[in-house]
Amino acid sequence: MVQKTTLRRLQLRMAPERIHYLRFILEGYDNLAMQSTVDVRQGLVELRYTPEVEEEVLSLLGSLSPALGVSGRFESISDNFAKQL
C-alpha cells in the first residue's frame, strides 16, 4: 500500500561554519526537520518537515537566525512524496 506524504521544503543560506549547530539543534528537538547540506562553501542548506510542525520550524529559525548567520528570507515549498507501507 502506498500512502502519500506531503513535506515542506525550505532552503536557507547561513554561515558555513555554523551548519553543524543547526543539525544538532534539530536533533535536540526530536528531529523536528531533516537537514541536508546543498553547498557547504556557500552555506546553503535544505530542511524538510511535515506541515504540522511548520510554525515551530519557522519560529525556531527566526529566533536562531542571528546566531546561525542566516541571511535573507526563507519560505517553505510543498513536496509530495509517495511512501511505501
Which CATH number goes with the domain that contains 29? 3.30.70.100
Is residue 82's pLDDT more than 50? Answer: no
How many domains in the chain? 1
Which one is predicted more confidently, 53 or 72?
Answer: 53
Instruction: Give 14-71 pLDDT, tens digit per residue.
Output: 999 999 999 999 999 998 999 999 999 999 999 999 999 999 999 999 999 999 999 8
Range of the domain at 44: 2-84
pLDDT at residue 2, as a whole number:
66
Is residue 5's pLDDT more than 90? Answer: no
Which residues, 6+ apart, have CB-to-CB distance to 69 below 8 Å?
14, 15, 18, 43
With beta carbons less than 8 A apart as the criterion, state whether 61 and 70 touch: yes
pLDDT at residue 59, as a whole number:
93
